[in-house]
Every structure is written in structure tokens, then in C-alpha cells.
């Protein structure tokens, strides 16, 4: 068993302990749901040899979702602080390791994008200059834009999963606005739509 597998196992055990330590039924259900999503992403990631660096992005999204929920749990009464901090530390450590894995694939993807191979741009680059002055930042758009900048080649579902506390409709509306003003590009690759920050080109 390699170091990453050991870290994942330790993190899952701590998350399970946290679920049992959570007295609030609402948070327990939310935590269980987020943990189930995380395990599903890990299962897909673990089953695809040779594509692990590419499949790291969905795992990172699930880790961030768990960390976001832990922020709320910190303010909830009745949870032992030591286990909560242990889970956060382990999740952040895992996130860092998966970000390193993802970086391996993003450098390859950047080279392909710059070479223009098999990517079809769905937005016109000239709209960026013309429409950037129309950008009215709000916290949702800024968070989504930051997430896309940090996780290039991200799909709609991953963005919606990452911002699970925001409605799907709001996420899609914010994405459409960011595309319209040229800060985000939507690209088609092998029948799948991916989002990129406009300044990677």
C-alpha cells in the first residue's frame, strides 16, 4: 500500500468517526452524503490506471465540498474539536497530494490547448476585450472563476458539486455570465464540455 492509499484510508476512518461524533442529524446526513460522493470519486479515480492524474479533479472537488461543510460544523455545538481538526488536516493534506497529481495532467493539457489540437472553441476570444468592462463581480462568480482558474479543464457537474451550497441554477447562470463577458471559455472535447479560464490561452 503506497503513501497516498494510507492517507486516504486514514482520512476515511477519521471522517467515519466524525459522522458518529456529530449529534445534529442534519449535519450528519450532509456529512454522510459528502463522504459518499468523495468515496465514489475515489472509486472512479482508483479504477482508472494511467488516467489518475486526469481524474484527480473530481476528487479535489469532493474534498473541497467536505472542507466547506466542516467550516459550518466548526460552529456547531457538540462536536469534539480534536476530531474535527484532525479530519480537516487530513483532508487538506489529501487535497494537496491530489493537486500535485492534477498538475501533472494540466501541464500536458496546457500544451495541447496551446497547440490547438482537437479542441473546438465555443466562444469568440474577441468578446473578452469588448465585454470585460461589463463584469459586475459578486461572490458566487468570483468563487466560480477562482475555482476554474485553479482547476482547468473542469466540467459543469464538478463546479455544481464544489458549490453545493449554491443552487444549480445560480451556478449555471454565473457560468453563462462569465462566458458571455469572456472571462471563461467553454470548450468541446470528445463530446464533453470543459471550462477554462480565458487567460490560459
| Number of structural domains found in the chain | 2
Residue showing cell 442529524: 25
| Buried/exposed code over 125-164 (b: 16+ C-beta within 10 A; e: otherwise) | eeebeeeeeeeeeeebbebbbebbbebbbbebebbbbbbb
User: Three-state SS for 158?
Assistant: helix
42 & 136 share domain: no
- pLDDT tens column, 19-43: 888 888 888 888 899 899 888 888 8
Residues 72 and 158 in one domain: no
pTM for this entry: 0.52
Q: Pick the residue with more confidence: 109 or 13?
A: 13
Least confident of 9-18, 126-135, 155-164, 184-193: 126-135
My answer on whether 20 and 93 are in the same domain is yes
Claim to verify: residue 105 and residue 125 sit in the same structural domain: no
As beta bridge partners, residue 197 has 184
What is the helix, strand, coil percentage profile of the chain, to 5? 70, 5, 25
Amino acid at each position: 500500500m503506497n503513501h497516498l492509499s494510507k492517507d486516504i484510508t486514514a482520512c476515511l476512518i477519521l471522517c467515519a468517526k466524525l459522522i458518529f461524533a456529530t449529534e445534529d442529524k442534519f449535519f450528519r446526513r450532509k456529512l454522510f452524503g459528502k463522504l459518499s460522493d468523495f468515496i465514489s470519486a475515489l472509486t472512479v479515480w482508483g479504477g482508472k490506471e494511467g488516467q489518475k492524474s486526469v481524474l484527480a479533479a473530481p476528487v479535489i472537488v469532493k474534498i473541497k465540498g467536505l472542507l466547506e461543510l466542516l467550516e459550518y460544523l466548526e460552529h456547531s455545538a457538540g462536536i469534539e474539536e480534536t476530531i474535527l481538526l484532525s479530519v480537516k488536516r487530513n483532508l487538506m493534506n489529501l487535497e494537496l497530494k491530489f493537486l500535485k497529481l492534477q498538475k501533472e495532467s494540466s501541464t500536458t493539457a496546457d500544451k495541447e490547448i496551446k497547440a490547438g489540437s482537437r479542441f473546438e472553441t465555443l466562444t469568440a476570444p474577441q468578446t473578452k476585450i469588448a465585454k470585460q468592462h461589463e463584469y459586475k463581480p459578486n461572490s458566487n462568480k468570483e468563487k466560480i472563476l477562482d475555482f476554474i482558474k485553479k482547476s482547468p479543464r473542469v466540467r459543469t457537474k464538478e463546479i455544481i458539486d464544489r458549490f453545493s451550497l449554491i443552487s444549480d441554477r445560480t451556478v449555471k447562470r454565473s457560468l453563462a455570465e462569465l462566458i458571455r463577458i469572456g472571462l471563461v471559455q467553454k470548450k468541446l472535447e470528445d463530446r464533453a464540455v470543459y471550462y477554462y479560464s480565458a487567460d490560459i490561452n
